[in-house]
A and B are shown apart, each in its own frame.
Chain A
Amino acid sequence: MKPSRQITLVASTLLLACMLASVLLLRKVDRLRSGATLQEVLYISSPKALKRLSLGYDGLLADIYWTRAVQYFGSKHFAESQHYDLLAPLLEITTALDPHLTVAYEFGANFLAPKPPNGAGQPQRAIELSEFGIRNNPNEWRLYYDLGFIYYMELKDYTHAADAFARGSRVPNAHPFLGVMAAQMAQHSGELRMAQMMWSTTYQSTQDRNVRANAATHLRALQVEEDVTNLENLVSAYRSKTGRPPSSLTDLQAAGMLREVPMDPLGHTYKLISDGRVEVRTPDDFPFLTKGTPPGYVAPPPKFLPSD
Protein backbone atom coordinates (compact mmCIF):
# COMPACT_ATOMS: atom_id res chain seq x y z
CA MET A 1 0.00 0.00 0.00
CA LYS A 2 1.32 3.47 -0.95
CA PRO A 3 2.10 5.77 2.04
CA SER A 4 -0.44 8.39 0.93
CA ARG A 5 -3.16 5.73 0.65
CA GLN A 6 -2.19 4.45 4.09
CA ILE A 7 -2.54 7.95 5.55
CA THR A 8 -5.92 8.41 3.85
CA LEU A 9 -7.13 5.14 5.34
CA VAL A 10 -5.89 5.98 8.84
CA ALA A 11 -7.21 9.56 8.69
CA SER A 12 -10.62 8.40 7.40
CA THR A 13 -10.94 5.77 10.11
CA LEU A 14 -9.86 8.26 12.75
CA LEU A 15 -12.29 10.85 11.38
CA LEU A 16 -15.25 8.48 11.66
CA ALA A 17 -14.18 7.29 15.09
CA CYS A 18 -13.80 10.88 16.31
CA MET A 19 -17.18 11.82 14.87
CA LEU A 20 -18.88 8.98 16.73
CA ALA A 21 -16.93 9.70 19.90
CA SER A 22 -17.80 13.41 19.77
CA VAL A 23 -21.54 12.61 19.61
CA LEU A 24 -21.27 10.17 22.52
CA LEU A 25 -19.19 12.61 24.56
CA LEU A 26 -21.59 15.44 23.88
CA ARG A 27 -24.47 13.31 25.13
CA LYS A 28 -22.47 12.54 28.26
CA VAL A 29 -21.71 16.24 28.75
CA ASP A 30 -25.44 16.96 28.47
CA ARG A 31 -26.21 14.45 31.20
CA LEU A 32 -23.47 15.85 33.43
CA ARG A 33 -24.55 19.44 32.94
CA SER A 34 -28.12 18.61 33.94
CA GLY A 35 -26.63 17.17 37.14
CA ALA A 36 -26.68 20.74 38.47
CA THR A 37 -23.05 21.28 39.29
CA LEU A 38 -23.75 24.41 37.33
CA GLN A 39 -26.88 25.81 38.99
CA GLU A 40 -29.60 27.11 36.79
CA VAL A 41 -29.28 30.86 36.61
CA LEU A 42 -29.77 33.54 34.01
CA TYR A 43 -26.65 35.65 33.86
CA ILE A 44 -28.34 38.47 32.02
CA SER A 45 -31.75 38.63 33.57
CA SER A 46 -32.58 42.17 32.56
CA PRO A 47 -34.78 42.17 29.44
CA LYS A 48 -33.82 45.78 28.74
CA ALA A 49 -30.10 45.00 28.87
CA LEU A 50 -30.58 42.03 26.54
CA LYS A 51 -32.58 44.13 24.11
CA ARG A 52 -29.73 46.62 23.93
CA LEU A 53 -27.16 43.85 23.59
CA SER A 54 -29.10 42.28 20.72
CA LEU A 55 -27.93 45.17 18.48
CA GLY A 56 -31.28 45.33 16.72
CA TYR A 57 -31.56 41.60 16.12
CA ASP A 58 -34.12 41.38 18.90
CA GLY A 59 -36.61 39.39 16.81
CA LEU A 60 -34.19 36.53 16.33
CA LEU A 61 -33.09 36.68 19.95
CA ALA A 62 -36.75 36.60 21.04
CA ASP A 63 -37.28 33.43 19.00
CA ILE A 64 -34.25 31.87 20.65
CA TYR A 65 -35.44 32.80 24.13
CA TRP A 66 -38.95 31.58 23.30
CA THR A 67 -37.50 28.21 22.31
CA ARG A 68 -35.49 28.17 25.51
CA ALA A 69 -38.62 28.86 27.57
CA VAL A 70 -40.54 26.04 25.89
CA GLN A 71 -37.60 23.66 26.24
CA TYR A 72 -37.06 24.67 29.85
CA PHE A 73 -40.67 24.10 30.82
CA GLY A 74 -40.91 20.88 28.79
CA SER A 75 -37.85 19.29 30.37
CA LYS A 76 -38.85 20.37 33.88
CA HIS A 77 -42.45 19.27 33.43
CA PHE A 78 -41.30 15.91 32.10
CA ALA A 79 -39.21 15.49 35.24
CA GLU A 80 -42.25 16.51 37.36
CA SER A 81 -40.22 19.33 38.84
CA GLN A 82 -41.61 21.46 41.66
CA HIS A 83 -39.52 24.48 40.69
CA TYR A 84 -39.68 26.51 37.49
CA ASP A 85 -37.55 29.43 38.62
CA LEU A 86 -36.41 30.49 35.17
CA LEU A 87 -39.76 30.26 33.38
CA ALA A 88 -40.95 33.75 34.32
CA PRO A 89 -37.67 35.53 33.46
CA LEU A 90 -37.36 33.60 30.19
CA LEU A 91 -40.86 34.61 29.15
CA GLU A 92 -40.30 38.20 30.31
CA ILE A 93 -37.12 38.41 28.24
CA THR A 94 -38.86 36.84 25.24
CA THR A 95 -41.73 39.30 25.34
CA ALA A 96 -39.47 42.28 26.05
CA LEU A 97 -37.49 41.41 22.92
CA ASP A 98 -40.63 40.84 20.87
CA PRO A 99 -43.70 42.33 22.58
CA HIS A 100 -45.97 41.05 19.78
CA LEU A 101 -45.16 37.37 20.31
CA THR A 102 -48.64 36.67 21.68
CA VAL A 103 -48.08 32.93 21.96
CA ALA A 104 -45.59 33.62 24.75
CA TYR A 105 -48.25 35.45 26.80
CA GLU A 106 -50.71 32.59 26.32
CA PHE A 107 -48.03 30.12 27.34
CA GLY A 108 -47.29 32.21 30.41
CA ALA A 109 -50.96 32.35 31.42
CA ASN A 110 -51.28 28.60 31.09
CA PHE A 111 -48.04 27.49 32.69
CA LEU A 112 -46.77 30.30 34.92
CA ALA A 113 -49.87 30.56 37.06
CA PRO A 114 -50.90 26.96 37.93
CA LYS A 115 -49.40 25.35 40.99
CA PRO A 116 -46.48 22.90 40.53
CA PRO A 117 -46.07 20.39 38.98
CA ASN A 118 -48.52 21.71 36.37
CA GLY A 119 -46.96 25.16 36.37
CA ALA A 120 -44.63 27.55 38.13
CA GLY A 121 -47.18 28.61 40.74
CA GLN A 122 -46.56 32.31 40.05
CA PRO A 123 -49.96 33.80 39.21
CA GLN A 124 -48.77 37.33 39.99
CA ARG A 125 -45.94 37.06 37.44
CA ALA A 126 -48.43 35.61 34.96
CA ILE A 127 -50.74 38.58 35.53
CA GLU A 128 -47.88 41.05 35.04
CA LEU A 129 -46.90 39.26 31.83
CA SER A 130 -50.48 39.33 30.54
CA GLU A 131 -50.87 43.02 31.40
CA PHE A 132 -47.61 43.74 29.55
CA GLY A 133 -49.01 41.81 26.59
CA ILE A 134 -52.25 43.77 26.68
CA ARG A 135 -50.40 47.09 26.81
CA ASN A 136 -48.46 46.10 23.70
CA ASN A 137 -51.29 44.30 21.89
CA PRO A 138 -54.46 46.07 23.00
CA ASN A 139 -56.52 44.53 20.20
CA GLU A 140 -55.74 40.90 20.99
CA TRP A 141 -58.86 39.71 22.83
CA ARG A 142 -57.21 36.41 23.76
CA LEU A 143 -54.80 38.22 26.09
CA TYR A 144 -57.72 39.67 28.08
CA TYR A 145 -59.24 36.23 28.17
CA ASP A 146 -55.98 34.76 29.47
CA LEU A 147 -55.78 37.46 32.14
CA GLY A 148 -59.33 36.81 33.29
CA PHE A 149 -58.64 33.13 33.21
CA ILE A 150 -55.70 33.51 35.62
CA TYR A 151 -57.76 35.63 38.02
CA TYR A 152 -60.62 33.17 37.93
CA MET A 153 -58.83 29.83 37.88
CA GLU A 154 -55.86 30.53 40.12
CA LEU A 155 -56.89 33.38 42.40
CA LYS A 156 -60.69 33.10 42.46
CA ASP A 157 -60.63 36.86 42.14
CA TYR A 158 -63.97 37.35 40.42
CA THR A 159 -63.84 41.13 40.47
CA HIS A 160 -60.58 41.33 38.53
CA ALA A 161 -61.58 38.44 36.30
CA ALA A 162 -64.79 40.25 35.41
CA ASP A 163 -62.81 43.42 34.71
CA ALA A 164 -60.39 41.57 32.39
CA PHE A 165 -63.21 39.86 30.47
CA ALA A 166 -65.11 43.12 30.24
CA ARG A 167 -62.06 44.93 28.82
CA GLY A 168 -61.58 42.12 26.34
CA SER A 169 -65.21 42.18 25.26
CA ARG A 170 -64.78 45.78 24.13
CA VAL A 171 -61.95 44.88 21.74
CA PRO A 172 -62.99 44.87 18.06
CA ASN A 173 -63.74 41.34 16.82
CA ALA A 174 -63.54 39.93 20.34
CA HIS A 175 -65.11 36.56 20.89
CA PRO A 176 -68.72 37.07 21.98
CA PHE A 177 -68.23 34.81 24.97
CA LEU A 178 -65.92 37.34 26.63
CA GLY A 179 -68.92 39.47 27.52
CA VAL A 180 -70.64 36.39 28.81
CA MET A 181 -67.65 35.51 30.98
CA ALA A 182 -67.44 39.06 32.31
CA ALA A 183 -71.03 38.96 33.45
CA GLN A 184 -70.57 35.54 34.98
CA MET A 185 -67.57 36.68 36.98
CA ALA A 186 -69.37 39.80 38.16
CA GLN A 187 -72.25 37.64 39.34
CA HIS A 188 -69.89 35.47 41.36
CA SER A 189 -68.36 38.52 42.92
CA GLY A 190 -71.72 39.73 44.20
CA GLU A 191 -71.77 42.74 41.93
CA LEU A 192 -75.30 41.99 40.86
CA ARG A 193 -76.02 45.18 38.97
CA MET A 194 -72.90 44.93 36.86
CA ALA A 195 -73.62 41.30 36.09
CA GLN A 196 -77.18 42.18 35.03
CA MET A 197 -75.87 44.95 32.82
CA MET A 198 -73.26 42.70 31.20
CA TRP A 199 -75.69 39.88 30.59
CA SER A 200 -78.26 42.29 29.15
CA THR A 201 -75.62 43.71 26.81
CA THR A 202 -74.63 40.22 25.77
CA TYR A 203 -78.26 39.26 25.24
CA GLN A 204 -78.92 42.30 23.08
CA SER A 205 -75.67 42.38 21.11
CA THR A 206 -74.93 38.75 20.34
CA GLN A 207 -75.83 37.09 17.06
CA ASP A 208 -75.13 33.66 18.49
CA ARG A 209 -78.29 31.74 19.51
CA ASN A 210 -76.53 29.75 22.25
CA VAL A 211 -74.87 32.81 23.75
CA ARG A 212 -78.24 34.58 23.73
CA ALA A 213 -79.96 31.65 25.47
CA ASN A 214 -77.18 31.45 28.01
CA ALA A 215 -77.49 35.18 28.71
CA ALA A 216 -81.24 34.85 29.20
CA THR A 217 -80.77 32.00 31.68
CA HIS A 218 -78.23 34.05 33.62
CA LEU A 219 -80.51 37.10 33.59
CA ARG A 220 -83.36 35.03 35.05
CA ALA A 221 -81.05 33.69 37.76
CA LEU A 222 -79.91 37.22 38.57
CA GLN A 223 -83.52 38.40 38.79
CA VAL A 224 -84.29 35.59 41.24
CA GLU A 225 -81.23 36.38 43.34
CA GLU A 226 -82.17 40.04 43.51
CA ASP A 227 -85.77 39.19 44.48
CA VAL A 228 -84.66 36.67 47.11
CA THR A 229 -82.19 39.14 48.63
CA ASN A 230 -84.82 41.89 48.83
CA LEU A 231 -87.48 39.56 50.24
CA GLU A 232 -85.14 38.14 52.89
CA ASN A 233 -84.22 41.68 53.95
CA LEU A 234 -87.91 42.54 54.27
CA VAL A 235 -88.57 39.36 56.28
CA SER A 236 -85.77 40.37 58.62
CA ALA A 237 -87.16 43.87 58.93
CA TYR A 238 -90.66 42.48 59.61
CA ARG A 239 -89.28 40.28 62.38
CA SER A 240 -87.52 43.29 63.96
CA LYS A 241 -90.65 45.38 63.71
CA THR A 242 -93.25 42.87 64.99
CA GLY A 243 -91.09 40.54 67.04
CA ARG A 244 -92.24 37.47 65.08
CA PRO A 245 -91.57 36.12 61.63
CA PRO A 246 -94.12 36.51 58.84
CA SER A 247 -96.22 33.39 58.11
CA SER A 248 -96.28 34.19 54.37
CA LEU A 249 -95.18 36.88 51.95
CA THR A 250 -98.67 38.37 52.00
CA ASP A 251 -97.98 39.37 55.64
CA LEU A 252 -95.31 41.69 54.26
CA GLN A 253 -97.85 43.17 51.87
CA ALA A 254 -100.38 43.56 54.69
CA ALA A 255 -97.76 45.34 56.80
CA GLY A 256 -97.24 47.84 53.95
CA MET A 257 -93.70 46.72 53.36
CA LEU A 258 -94.42 45.25 49.94
CA ARG A 259 -96.61 46.80 47.25
CA GLU A 260 -97.31 43.40 45.67
CA VAL A 261 -95.98 39.86 46.11
CA PRO A 262 -93.33 39.36 43.42
CA MET A 263 -93.27 36.44 40.97
CA ASP A 264 -90.19 34.68 39.74
CA PRO A 265 -89.31 35.20 36.03
CA LEU A 266 -91.32 32.07 35.11
CA GLY A 267 -94.46 33.33 36.86
CA HIS A 268 -94.29 31.31 40.07
CA THR A 269 -94.58 32.80 43.56
CA TYR A 270 -91.62 32.55 45.95
CA LYS A 271 -91.73 30.22 48.98
CA LEU A 272 -91.14 31.63 52.47
CA ILE A 273 -89.37 29.07 54.67
CA SER A 274 -89.88 29.05 58.45
CA ASP A 275 -86.27 30.05 59.17
CA GLY A 276 -86.78 33.28 57.21
CA ARG A 277 -85.23 32.14 53.95
CA VAL A 278 -86.94 32.64 50.60
CA GLU A 279 -86.77 29.97 47.89
CA VAL A 280 -87.94 29.49 44.30
CA ARG A 281 -90.56 26.81 43.71
CA THR A 282 -88.83 25.25 40.68
CA PRO A 283 -85.07 25.58 41.23
CA ASP A 284 -84.30 23.23 38.33
CA ASP A 285 -85.60 25.91 35.96
CA PHE A 286 -82.98 28.37 37.21
CA PRO A 287 -79.48 27.05 36.63
CA PHE A 288 -76.63 29.29 37.85
CA LEU A 289 -78.60 30.21 40.98
CA THR A 290 -76.39 30.90 43.99
CA LYS A 291 -79.29 31.93 46.24
CA GLY A 292 -82.94 30.92 46.76
CA THR A 293 -82.44 27.18 46.53
CA PRO A 294 -83.03 24.53 49.26
CA PRO A 295 -80.00 23.76 51.46
CA GLY A 296 -77.68 21.22 49.82
CA TYR A 297 -79.41 21.63 46.47
CA VAL A 298 -77.28 20.55 43.48
CA ALA A 299 -78.24 22.31 40.27
CA PRO A 300 -78.73 20.18 37.14
CA PRO A 301 -76.86 21.05 33.91
CA PRO A 302 -78.11 24.36 32.48
CA LYS A 303 -81.01 24.18 30.06
CA PHE A 304 -82.28 26.92 27.83
CA LEU A 305 -85.95 27.58 27.26
CA PRO A 306 -87.35 27.57 23.70
CA SER A 307 -88.51 31.15 24.14
CA ASP A 308 -84.93 32.34 24.62
Chain B
Amino acid sequence: MSSRIRHIASNTFREAVRDRVLYNLIAFAVLMCGASILVGQISIGIERLVVINLGLTAISLFGMVIAIFIGIGLVSKEIEKRTLYTVLSRPVRRWEFIVGKFFGLAGTLVVNTFFMAIGVFLALLYVSQRFQTADGWVLVALYFIVLQFLMITALALFFSSFSSPLLSAVFAFSLFVIGSFAEDLRGFAAMAQGATRWLATGAAYLVPNFASLNVIGSVAHGQGVAGTLILSETAYAMVYAAMALCGAVLIFERRNLK
Protein backbone atom coordinates (compact mmCIF):
# COMPACT_ATOMS: atom_id res chain seq x y z
CA MET B 1 0.00 0.00 0.00
CA SER B 2 1.42 3.37 -0.94
CA SER B 3 2.11 5.83 1.84
CA ARG B 4 -0.52 8.21 0.44
CA ILE B 5 -3.24 5.56 0.71
CA ARG B 6 -2.00 4.71 4.22
CA HIS B 7 -2.24 8.35 5.28
CA ILE B 8 -5.75 8.77 3.91
CA ALA B 9 -6.78 5.52 5.59
CA SER B 10 -5.37 6.52 8.97
CA ASN B 11 -7.00 9.97 8.71
CA THR B 12 -10.33 8.33 7.89
CA PHE B 13 -9.95 6.08 10.93
CA ARG B 14 -9.06 9.04 13.18
CA GLU B 15 -12.00 11.00 11.83
CA ALA B 16 -14.37 8.12 12.55
CA VAL B 17 -13.07 7.89 16.11
CA ARG B 18 -13.44 11.67 16.50
CA ASP B 19 -17.02 11.32 15.23
CA ARG B 20 -17.63 9.08 18.25
CA VAL B 21 -18.40 6.08 16.04
CA LEU B 22 -16.89 3.75 18.60
CA TYR B 23 -19.46 4.93 21.15
CA ASN B 24 -21.66 2.15 19.77
CA LEU B 25 -19.41 -0.19 21.75
CA ILE B 26 -20.99 1.09 24.94
CA ALA B 27 -24.47 0.26 23.66
CA PHE B 28 -23.19 -3.15 22.59
CA ALA B 29 -21.58 -3.80 25.98
CA VAL B 30 -24.83 -2.91 27.76
CA LEU B 31 -26.78 -5.18 25.40
CA MET B 32 -24.45 -8.14 25.93
CA CYS B 33 -24.32 -7.73 29.72
CA GLY B 34 -28.09 -7.39 29.92
CA ALA B 35 -28.70 -10.35 27.64
CA SER B 36 -26.22 -12.59 29.46
CA ILE B 37 -27.74 -11.90 32.85
CA LEU B 38 -31.32 -12.04 31.62
CA VAL B 39 -30.95 -15.18 29.54
CA GLY B 40 -29.33 -17.02 32.42
CA GLN B 41 -32.38 -16.32 34.53
CA ILE B 42 -35.20 -16.96 32.07
CA SER B 43 -34.02 -19.81 29.83
CA ILE B 44 -32.75 -23.35 30.27
CA GLY B 45 -30.15 -24.91 28.00
CA ILE B 46 -30.07 -22.22 25.33
CA GLU B 47 -28.06 -19.53 27.11
CA ARG B 48 -25.04 -20.14 24.89
CA LEU B 49 -27.19 -20.21 21.78
CA VAL B 50 -28.89 -16.93 22.64
CA VAL B 51 -25.63 -15.17 23.49
CA ILE B 52 -24.00 -16.22 20.19
CA ASN B 53 -27.06 -15.44 18.09
CA LEU B 54 -27.71 -12.11 19.76
CA GLY B 55 -24.07 -11.09 19.93
CA LEU B 56 -23.19 -11.89 16.33
CA THR B 57 -26.43 -10.41 15.00
CA ALA B 58 -25.79 -7.21 16.96
CA ILE B 59 -22.21 -7.03 15.67
CA SER B 60 -23.46 -7.49 12.13
CA LEU B 61 -26.23 -4.90 12.41
CA PHE B 62 -24.14 -2.30 14.28
CA GLY B 63 -21.34 -2.73 11.73
CA MET B 64 -23.68 -2.51 8.76
CA VAL B 65 -25.21 0.71 10.06
CA ILE B 66 -21.74 2.18 10.62
CA ALA B 67 -20.49 1.01 7.23
CA ILE B 68 -23.48 2.48 5.42
CA PHE B 69 -23.83 5.78 7.27
CA ILE B 70 -20.11 6.54 7.46
CA GLY B 71 -19.41 5.12 4.00
CA ILE B 72 -21.97 7.29 2.22
CA GLY B 73 -20.44 10.46 3.70
CA LEU B 74 -16.82 9.65 2.97
CA VAL B 75 -16.76 11.45 -0.38
CA SER B 76 -19.68 13.85 -0.09
CA LYS B 77 -18.54 15.21 3.28
CA GLU B 78 -15.09 15.92 1.89
CA ILE B 79 -16.66 17.81 -1.02
CA GLU B 80 -19.05 19.68 1.28
CA LYS B 81 -16.23 20.74 3.62
CA ARG B 82 -14.03 21.48 0.62
CA THR B 83 -11.24 19.44 2.20
CA LEU B 84 -11.23 17.22 -0.88
CA TYR B 85 -9.75 20.03 -2.96
CA THR B 86 -6.89 20.40 -0.48
CA VAL B 87 -6.22 16.68 -0.64
CA LEU B 88 -6.38 16.45 -4.42
CA SER B 89 -4.23 19.55 -4.89
CA ARG B 90 -1.41 17.51 -3.38
CA PRO B 91 0.17 14.62 -5.28
CA VAL B 92 -2.75 12.33 -4.41
CA ARG B 93 -4.65 10.62 -7.18
CA ARG B 94 -8.40 10.25 -7.07
CA TRP B 95 -8.24 6.46 -7.02
CA GLU B 96 -5.83 6.63 -4.08
CA PHE B 97 -8.32 8.80 -2.25
CA ILE B 98 -11.10 6.25 -2.82
CA VAL B 99 -8.96 3.27 -1.88
CA GLY B 100 -7.58 5.07 1.18
CA LYS B 101 -11.08 5.95 2.36
CA PHE B 102 -12.09 2.32 1.93
CA PHE B 103 -9.22 1.00 4.02
CA GLY B 104 -9.82 3.66 6.66
CA LEU B 105 -13.44 2.71 7.18
CA ALA B 106 -12.66 -1.00 6.88
CA GLY B 107 -10.05 -0.55 9.62
CA THR B 108 -12.56 1.26 11.82
CA LEU B 109 -15.01 -1.59 11.39
CA VAL B 110 -12.38 -4.24 12.12
CA VAL B 111 -11.38 -2.48 15.36
CA ASN B 112 -15.04 -2.06 16.29
CA THR B 113 -15.71 -5.74 15.58
CA PHE B 114 -12.65 -6.77 17.57
CA PHE B 115 -13.92 -5.05 20.72
CA MET B 116 -17.44 -6.37 20.20
CA ALA B 117 -16.04 -9.89 19.74
CA ILE B 118 -14.31 -9.59 23.11
CA GLY B 119 -17.71 -8.67 24.56
CA VAL B 120 -19.33 -11.75 23.00
CA PHE B 121 -16.64 -14.09 24.31
CA LEU B 122 -16.85 -12.57 27.79
CA ALA B 123 -20.62 -13.06 27.75
CA LEU B 124 -20.10 -16.65 26.58
CA LEU B 125 -17.68 -17.25 29.41
CA TYR B 126 -20.19 -15.80 31.85
CA VAL B 127 -23.10 -18.02 30.77
CA SER B 128 -21.08 -21.25 30.11
CA GLN B 129 -18.44 -20.80 32.86
CA ARG B 130 -15.85 -22.14 30.39
CA PHE B 131 -15.05 -22.03 26.69
CA GLN B 132 -15.93 -24.97 24.44
CA THR B 133 -14.15 -26.19 21.31
CA ALA B 134 -17.19 -25.24 19.22
CA ASP B 135 -16.78 -21.61 20.34
CA GLY B 136 -13.89 -21.42 17.89
CA TRP B 137 -16.42 -21.42 15.04
CA VAL B 138 -17.71 -18.11 16.39
CA LEU B 139 -14.42 -16.64 15.16
CA VAL B 140 -15.25 -17.87 11.64
CA ALA B 141 -18.68 -16.25 11.84
CA LEU B 142 -17.01 -13.01 13.00
CA TYR B 143 -14.59 -13.24 10.10
CA PHE B 144 -17.50 -13.67 7.68
CA ILE B 145 -19.19 -10.63 9.23
CA VAL B 146 -16.02 -8.60 8.60
CA LEU B 147 -16.09 -9.81 4.97
CA GLN B 148 -19.66 -8.52 4.73
CA PHE B 149 -18.49 -5.16 6.08
CA LEU B 150 -15.83 -4.94 3.39
CA MET B 151 -18.45 -5.51 0.71
CA ILE B 152 -20.98 -3.03 2.07
CA THR B 153 -18.27 -0.42 2.71
CA ALA B 154 -17.14 -0.68 -0.93
CA LEU B 155 -20.75 -0.42 -2.08
CA ALA B 156 -21.43 2.61 0.12
CA LEU B 157 -18.33 4.27 -1.34
CA PHE B 158 -19.48 3.37 -4.84
CA PHE B 159 -22.86 5.06 -4.32
CA SER B 160 -21.21 7.94 -2.50
CA SER B 161 -19.03 8.59 -5.56
CA PHE B 162 -21.98 9.79 -7.66
CA SER B 163 -25.03 10.23 -5.45
CA SER B 164 -26.27 12.31 -2.52
CA PRO B 165 -25.77 10.88 0.99
CA LEU B 166 -29.48 10.19 1.44
CA LEU B 167 -29.85 8.31 -1.83
CA SER B 168 -26.58 6.49 -1.24
CA ALA B 169 -27.90 5.28 2.12
CA VAL B 170 -31.13 4.10 0.51
CA PHE B 171 -29.24 2.28 -2.26
CA ALA B 172 -26.74 0.67 0.08
CA PHE B 173 -29.38 -0.40 2.58
CA SER B 174 -31.56 -1.79 -0.20
CA LEU B 175 -28.65 -3.83 -1.51
CA PHE B 176 -28.00 -5.09 2.00
CA VAL B 177 -31.60 -6.33 2.27
CA ILE B 178 -31.64 -7.77 -1.27
CA GLY B 179 -28.24 -9.38 -0.69
CA SER B 180 -29.55 -11.04 2.45
CA PHE B 181 -32.22 -12.68 0.29
CA ALA B 182 -29.83 -13.39 -2.61
CA GLU B 183 -30.37 -17.12 -2.47
CA ASP B 184 -34.14 -16.68 -2.64
CA LEU B 185 -33.64 -14.36 -5.58
CA ARG B 186 -31.80 -17.16 -7.35
CA GLY B 187 -34.62 -19.49 -6.38
CA PHE B 188 -37.11 -17.16 -8.06
CA ALA B 189 -34.84 -16.95 -11.10
CA ALA B 190 -34.71 -20.74 -11.35
CA MET B 191 -38.50 -20.90 -11.41
CA ALA B 192 -38.86 -18.22 -14.10
CA GLN B 193 -38.89 -18.86 -17.83
CA GLY B 194 -37.31 -17.25 -20.92
CA ALA B 195 -35.93 -13.73 -20.76
CA THR B 196 -37.20 -13.20 -17.20
CA ARG B 197 -35.07 -16.13 -16.10
CA TRP B 198 -31.93 -14.66 -17.65
CA LEU B 199 -32.59 -11.21 -16.21
CA ALA B 200 -33.37 -12.57 -12.74
CA THR B 201 -30.31 -14.84 -12.78
CA GLY B 202 -28.10 -11.93 -13.88
CA ALA B 203 -29.50 -9.73 -11.10
CA ALA B 204 -29.06 -12.54 -8.57
CA TYR B 205 -25.36 -12.84 -9.42
CA LEU B 206 -24.81 -9.08 -9.52
CA VAL B 207 -26.18 -8.29 -6.06
CA PRO B 208 -23.87 -9.05 -3.13
CA ASN B 209 -24.59 -12.48 -1.69
CA PHE B 210 -24.71 -11.69 2.02
CA ALA B 211 -26.79 -14.80 2.63
CA SER B 212 -23.88 -17.13 1.88
CA LEU B 213 -21.71 -15.19 4.34
CA ASN B 214 -24.20 -15.56 7.14
CA VAL B 215 -23.24 -18.59 9.24
CA ILE B 216 -24.43 -17.21 12.58
CA GLY B 217 -27.19 -19.77 12.95
CA SER B 218 -24.99 -22.76 12.19
CA VAL B 219 -22.08 -21.78 14.43
CA ALA B 220 -24.53 -21.09 17.25
CA HIS B 221 -25.42 -24.77 16.95
CA GLY B 222 -21.75 -25.70 17.06
CA GLN B 223 -21.56 -26.67 13.40
CA GLY B 224 -18.25 -26.23 11.65
CA VAL B 225 -17.43 -24.49 8.40
CA ALA B 226 -15.17 -26.19 5.86
CA GLY B 227 -11.79 -24.59 5.17
CA THR B 228 -12.43 -24.57 1.42
CA LEU B 229 -15.65 -22.68 2.02
CA ILE B 230 -13.83 -20.09 4.14
CA LEU B 231 -11.27 -19.60 1.35
CA SER B 232 -13.92 -19.32 -1.36
CA GLU B 233 -16.02 -16.89 0.67
CA THR B 234 -12.93 -14.79 1.36
CA ALA B 235 -12.06 -14.67 -2.34
CA TYR B 236 -15.66 -13.83 -3.23
CA ALA B 237 -15.90 -10.96 -0.72
CA MET B 238 -12.53 -9.56 -1.79
CA VAL B 239 -13.39 -9.75 -5.46
CA TYR B 240 -16.82 -8.20 -4.90
CA ALA B 241 -15.38 -5.35 -2.82
CA ALA B 242 -12.72 -4.79 -5.50
CA MET B 243 -15.45 -4.70 -8.15
CA ALA B 244 -17.42 -2.04 -6.25
CA LEU B 245 -14.23 -0.06 -5.63
CA CYS B 246 -13.33 -0.20 -9.34
CA GLY B 247 -16.79 1.15 -10.11
CA ALA B 248 -16.31 3.93 -7.55
CA VAL B 249 -12.87 4.79 -8.98
CA LEU B 250 -14.22 4.85 -12.54
CA ILE B 251 -17.01 7.24 -11.62
CA PHE B 252 -14.95 9.40 -9.30
CA GLU B 253 -12.21 9.75 -11.92
CA ARG B 254 -14.70 11.27 -14.35
CA ARG B 255 -16.63 13.31 -11.81
CA ASN B 256 -16.57 17.07 -12.27
CA LEU B 257 -15.61 18.48 -8.88
CA LYS B 258 -15.72 22.16 -9.86
Which residues from chain A sit less than 8 Å from chain B, CB to CB?
A: 3-4, 7-8, 11-12, 14-15, 18-19, 21-23, 25-26, 28-30, 32-33, 35, 37-39, 41, 43, 64, 67-68, 70-71
Contact = CB atoms under 8 A, between A and B. Distances in A.
A71 B187 CA distance: 7
Contacts of B93: 3, 7
B228 A32 contact: yes
Given A15-B246, A26-B212, A41 B221 contact: yes
B253 interface: yes
Given A15-B246, A67-B191, A71-B190, A37 B239 contact: no
A14 B253 CA distance: 15
B236 interface: yes
A26 B243 contact: no
Interface residues of B, number: 38
B250 interface: yes
Contacts of B94: 7
A249 to B, nearest CB: 65
Contacts of A22: 205, 236, 239-240, 243
Contacts of A26: 205, 209, 212, 236
Nearest to B96: A7
Nearest to B229: A32
Contacts of A41: 217-218, 221, 223
Interface string B224-245: 1110110011011001101100
A133 to B, nearest CB: 22
A12 B253 CA distance: 12
Contacts of A37: 223-226, 229
Contacts of A25: 232, 235-236, 239
Interface in B55-104: 93-95
Contacts of A18: 239-240, 242-243, 246
Contacts of B243: 14-15, 18-19, 22
Contacts of A68: 184, 187
B253 A4 contact: yes
Given A11-B249, A15-B243, A32-B228, A23 B223 contact: no
26 contacts: A7-B93, A7-B94, A7-B249, A7-B253, A8-B250, A8-B253, A14-B242, A15-B243, A15-B246, A18-B242, A25-B235, A25-B239, A26-B205, A26-B212, A29-B229, A37-B225, A37-B226, A38-B215, A38-B218, A38-B225, A39-B218, A64-B184, A67-B191, A68-B184, A68-B187, A71-B191
Given A7-B93, A19-B243, A32 B187 contact: no
A206 B258 CA distance: 83
**Which has the most chain B C-beta neighbours within 10 Å: A18, A21, A28?**
A18
B212 A64 contact: no
Given A11-B95, A64-B181, A23 B228 contact: no
Sort A-B residue pairs by CB-CB distance and give the 9 closest, nearest first: A18-B243, A43-B217, A15-B246, A37-B226, A25-B236, A71-B187, A32-B229, A21-B239, A11-B246
A33 B250 CA distance: 34
The main secondary structure of chain B at its interface with chain A is: helix
B49 to A, nearest CB: 10
A83 B212 CA distance: 23
Contacts of B40: none
A30 B204 CA distance: 13
Given A11-B249, A38-B215, A39-B223, A23 B233 contact: no
Given A7-B95, A15-B243, A32 B232 contact: yes
A21 B243 CA distance: 10
Contact of B236 (A3, A29, A67): A29
A67 B191 CA distance: 8
Contacts of A32: 226, 228-229, 232
Contacts of B232: 25, 28-29, 32
Nearest to A15: B246
B246 A14 contact: yes
B107 interface: no
Given A35-B229, A70-B191, 11 more contacts: A18-B239, A18-B240, A22-B205, A23-B205, A29-B232, A32-B226, A32-B228, A38-B215, A41-B221, A43-B217, A71-B190
B184 to A, nearest CB: 5
A282 to B, nearest CB: 54
Contacts of A64: 181, 184
Contacts of A67: 184, 187-188, 191
A15 B181 contact: no
**Which has the most chain A C-beta neighbours within 10 Å: B188, B232, B233?**
B232
Contact of A33 (B229, B239, B254): B229
A15 B225 CA distance: 30
